Chain A
């Protein structure tokens, strides 16, 4: 069955450093992969989408890579700020799922000033 794994332990980094979060998937080949941010008690907020034919995508301080050979996506936040503290969810998605999202368990990021 399809399986999605994210760093299970919380990630604690110092302000200004680069945070790197990992998303691994097994037993399927997603056509694209999305990253979301979720704050406590709130719904997820869309951040980035990367397709299987794209190696890398950037948006301001965010960068996502997608390695279909390793079945892995990396999510980077450069020059991290305390306001970046949140849980980050990845959702690798098949084309024929009608937009249905299956999320990883999320990685909690804490950026200390």
Chain B
């Protein structure tokens, strides 16, 4: 079945540093990937849509200079949290849409827990 991986699964960093999170589709190609953020006891909030070879589309209220997205290949998208602060601590989840499936077919990664000290 379609598998999406994320790396790292957990990261602790100091305030002011940047953190890169990778999202990979392991056995399918994904022109489109999505990045979500989830705070405790809350639902997933879409941050941005990542398209291979073009600029990401950010949701309202999400700073594109703060959350840099690069989708350089059909199997990899990266999210970089720049100059991280404690309020950026959250659970970041990516999903990938299978190019070979229907538009609705989307698979989620296991998530990355970010803690900024």
Contact = CB atoms under 8 A, between A and B. Distances in A.
Interface in A8-45: 32, 34, 36, 41-45
Q: Main secondary structure on chain B at its contact with chain A?
A: strand
Interface stretch (A63-71, A78-86, A92-100): A92-100
A34 B107 CA distance: 12
Contacts of B95: 43, 101
A43 B111 contact: yes
Nearest to B51: A98
Interface of B: 4, 6, 32, 34, 42-44, 46, 49, 91, 93, 95, 97, 103-104, 106-111, 113
Question: Closest 10 interchain pairs by CB?
Answer: A43-B108, A105-B43, A103-B43, A43-B111, A43-B93, A99-B97, A44-B108, A103-B44, A43-B110, A99-B103
